[in-house]
Amino acid sequence: MRRLMVALMLLLLLFPMPVRAEDSELNLEEQMEEQLDALGADELLRHVPEEAREYLQEADLFDIDLKKLMELTPGKFFPALGRMFWNTVKRPSRTLAAMLAVILLCALLESLRDTVSEPALSGAFQTVSVLCILTAVATPILDCIVRTTNTIQQAAFFMLSFIPMFSAAMISAGQPATGAAYNLFLLTACQVVSQVVAQTFIPMMAVYLAFCICGSFVPELNVASVASGIRSMVSWAMGLLLTIFVALLSIQSMLSHGADGVGVKAAKFLINSLVPAVGSILSDAYMAAQGALRLVKTTVGAYGIVVALFTFLPTFLYVAVWYLITRVVALAGDVVGAERVSGILKACSNVLGLLIAAIFCFALLIIISTSVVMIAGLGAG
Amino acid sequence: MEIDLIFRIAAIGIIVAVLDQVLRRADRPEIATMTTLAGVIAVLLMMIAEINHLFETVKSVFGLY
Amino acid sequence: MEVSQLFTLVGVGLVAMIMAVTLRQYRPEFALLVSLVAGVVILIGVVRGILPVVEQVQTIFQSTQMPAAYLQVLFKALGICFLTQIACDACRDAGEGAIGAKVELAGKVAVLVISLPLFVQVLTIVRGLLV
């Protein structure tokens, strides 16, 4: 009997059942996926603007993926950019050639003119060539205007779903004050700026262009002063708007970042002191969780910036190409001596320049505010 | 070619001028005037053909049918 | 236009000038006729020389999306301006400024009438901008 018991005990010793604690290694990617889903990443992906979508899919950046974002080197970026550029430039360059040909014909007629006689006939021919050039250029300019308005409105729509998600990410990463401030502030800013720019500034620029067209046919009526007045007002107002918003946001985020830092430290202290034995371990775990969540927040922020970039870049390139073209042809007209033609083309390029400014204004608003908030939060805790 | 035209017109002009002087000296001012007029009309006829040629060329090059 | 043609025209111009100056002392009207004919001849040569340029411009325009009708209007306007300028200059040279002004007016009206469809198009554009 006793030997049986000893044998049994020996057997038990020989076959131990290994037991250990659960694997507590943070599997970073899975955690991030969970967090992103919790924050509502799918809905965000649905709201990405159309234009940005195809470029993002081409660069394989559509899903919010930390690894892909970290691998975003300029080397990957520039081929897509180059392709975008070439696609945009092809058709306008043919119109450039046509317009330069018209200027050539103007030059021909100018050379026929005697220096003594009044430029009446060349004036008549220049009117006709202005009409010709206008029919060539007006459709693309209208196109630019419509595209800019659309892009700004689409971006505003995207921001509507991006901002709440980003501020939720910030709040969960331990920056409640900054998150709340970002949410409220940027939401209002986006809507206000996009409405003002799309509904007021851009139609005013269209009116300015209409003024200049009519003014070019009747040089005696000095429309130029009214037109330049409109233009300077619009550019001044846009600059003012952007400066105010960015300044306010910087001030706010700096202040609320201080508040967040205090909040995080207070939480650590409380945990440490209230939980007796494992308090320090718990507060370290809290900080680790914070770190992971901060990574989520940074990823989301970076994604937002990338989307904003890809949304605005195609439109910006298109408008910039047409701006360059009108400038070049205006220069050629000046060289040749066809003042009416170069005058109307300068007005067109002014309109396009203001469109570029509007695009920049809005894109910078988004990018700068997101980066300011992201960078301010990096040094927390 | 067309250059001959200019020489011809210039030649007619010189002939008419000389004839005019001679006839005035010979005390026949009416004939002088008529000669001048005849010369002018002859040159005009030649010129109209040339101007017509110019119009045809411009019409064809610029498509002004 | 090759360089040989250019030499021809230059020669024609110089010779005509000398003859006109010579004839002016005796028969001013002949001097005028000579200069007019010289102008016409030189311009014929110039217009013939422009032909390749015009064809090239037409090819350039065809590759853009501008309708061909507008290009026609442009060229017709150029031709009208050419002719009117010749007549105007000749009138002014002869001292008949009034006749020259009337001819110029006729040319301007012709250009205006020809370019009416372009005006209509631009009005449509302006209306589109103001909407």
Neighbouring chains of B at 3+ CB pairs under 8 Å are C
Choose among A94, A117, A142: nearest Cβ to C129: A142
Interface of C with A (CB under 8 A): 50, 53, 57, 60-61, 63-67, 70-71, 73-74, 77-78, 81-82, 84-85, 88-89, 92, 104, 107-108, 111-112, 114-115, 118-119, 121-122, 125-126, 128-130
Interchain contact C117–B (C-beta under 8 A): no
Task: Write down the H helix ranges in A276-380.
Answer: 279-336, 339-378
pLDDT of A337 > 70? The answer is: yes
pLDDT of A35 > 80? The answer is: no
Give the residue carrying structure tokens 């470029």: A55
Structure tokens at A185: 């502030």
Interchain contact A90–C (C-beta under 8 A): no
Q: A222: helix, coil or strand? A: coil
Nearest-CA distance C120 → chain B (Å): 21
Q: Indicate whether C89 and C117 sit together in one domain.
A: yes
The pLDDT value recorded for residue A25 is: 46
Q: Indicate whether C107 and C71 sit together in one domain.
A: yes
Interface test with C, best of A125, A134, A207, A341 (most C CBs within 10 A): A125
- Residue A124 falls inside a structural domain: no
- Of the pLDDT bands very low, low, confident and very high (cuts 50, 70, 90), residue A299 is confident
Using an 8 Å CB-CB cutoff, list chain A residues near C55.
Answer: none
CB spacing of C33 vs B53 below 8 angstroms: no
The pLDDT value recorded for residue C66 is: 66
- Of the pLDDT bands very low, low, confident and very high (cuts 50, 70, 90), residue C73 is confident
pLDDT of A23 > 60? The answer is: no
Neighbouring chains of C at 3+ CB pairs under 8 Å are A, B
Q: Indicate whether C80 and C130 sit together in one domain.
A: yes
Task: Write down the H helix ranges in chain A.
Answer: 2-14, 28-39, 41-46, 50-58, 66-70, 74-112, 120-172, 176-196, 202-217, 223-274, 279-336, 339-378
CB spacing of B17 vs C43 below 8 angstroms: no
Query: By the 8 A CB rule, do B13 and C33 touch?
Result: yes
| Closest residue on chain C to A115 (Cα) | C89
CA dihedral (A376, A272, A39, A56) in degrees, to 10, reads 40
Nearest-CA distance C25 → chain A (Å): 25
* pLDDT tens by residue, A116-163: 445 567 777 777 878 878 877 787 888 888 888 888 888 888 888 777
Q: Indicate whether C31 and C72 sit together in one domain.
A: no
Distance CA A262, CA A265 (A): 5
Mean pLDDT of A208-226: 76
Mean pLDDT of C91-105: 88
- Find the domain containing A329 and state its range: 138-378
Burial label, A203 (beta-carbon count in 10 A; 0-12, 13-18, 19+): middle
- Of the pLDDT bands very low, low, confident and very high (cuts 50, 70, 90), residue A325 is confident
Q: Indicate whether C35 and C93 sit together in one domain.
A: no
3-class SS shares of chain B: helix, strand, coil, % to 5? 90, 0, 10
Q: Indicate whether C70 and C129 sit together in one domain.
A: yes
* pLDDT tens by residue, C17-68: 998 898 888 888 888 888 888 888 888 888 888 888 888 877 877 776 667 7
pLDDT of A20 > 60? The answer is: no
Choose among B47, B59, B64: nearest Cβ to C33: B47
The pLDDT value recorded for residue A255 is: 74
The pLDDT value recorded for residue B1 is: 55
- Residue C56 falls inside a structural domain: no
* pLDDT tens by residue, A97-106: 778 877 777 7
Q: Indicate whether C40 and C76 sit together in one domain.
A: no
| Closest residue on chain A to C116 (Cα) | A128
Q: Which amino acid is at A306?
A: V
- Identify the helix (H) or strand (E) that includes residue B12: helix B2-25
Minimum mean pLDDT range among A15-24, A26-35, A103-112, A123-132? A15-24
Mean pLDDT of A44-63: 68
Nearest-CA distance A83 → chain C (Å): 22
Q: Indicate whether C72 and C44 sit together in one domain.
A: no
pLDDT of A26 > 60? The answer is: no
Q: Indicate whether C88 and C113 sit together in one domain.
A: yes
Choose among C26, C31, C40: nearest Cβ to B54: C40
The pLDDT value recorded for residue C102 is: 92
CB spacing of B64 vs C82 below 8 angstroms: no
- Find the domain containing C114 and state its range: 65-131
- Of the pLDDT bands very low, low, confident and very high (cuts 50, 70, 90), residue C99 is very high
- Greatest mean pLDDT among A10-14, A224-228, A281-285, B44-48 lies in B44-48
Between helix A223-274 and helix A279-336 the angle, nearest 10°, is 170
Mean pLDDT of chain C: 84
- Collect contacts of A114-123 with beta carbons under 8 A, ≥24 apart: A114/C89, A117/C88, A117/C89, A117/C92, A120/C104, A120/C108, A121/C81, A121/C84, A121/C85, A121/C88, A121/C104, A121/C107, A121/C108, A121/C111, A122/C81, A123/A340
Query: By the 8 A CB rule, do A319 and A148 touch?
Result: yes
Minimum mean pLDDT range among A29-38, A301-310, B5-14, C72-81? A29-38
Interchain contact C80–B (C-beta under 8 A): yes
- Residue A202 falls inside a structural domain: yes
Find the distance separating the first CA and the last CA of chain B, reported in whole Å.
26
- Residue C36 falls inside a structural domain: yes
Using an 8 Å CB-CB cutoff, list chain B residues near C83.
Answer: 55, 58
Q: Indicate whether C131 and C79 sit together in one domain.
A: yes
pLDDT of A63 > 80? The answer is: no
Burial label, A150 (beta-carbon count in 10 A; 0-12, 13-18, 19+): middle
Integer-rounded Cα radius of gyration of chain A: 31
Q: Which residue has the higher pLDDT, A69 or A91?
A: A91
pLDDT of A113 > 60? The answer is: no
CA dihedral (A186, A192, A193, A194) in degrees, to 10, reads 100
User: How many structural domains does chain C have?
Assistant: 2
CB spacing of C40 vs B47 below 8 angstroms: yes
Mean pLDDT of B13-22: 89
Instruction: Tell me A200's DSSP state.
Output: I
Which of C9, C25, C50 corresponds to the end of one domain?
Answer: C50
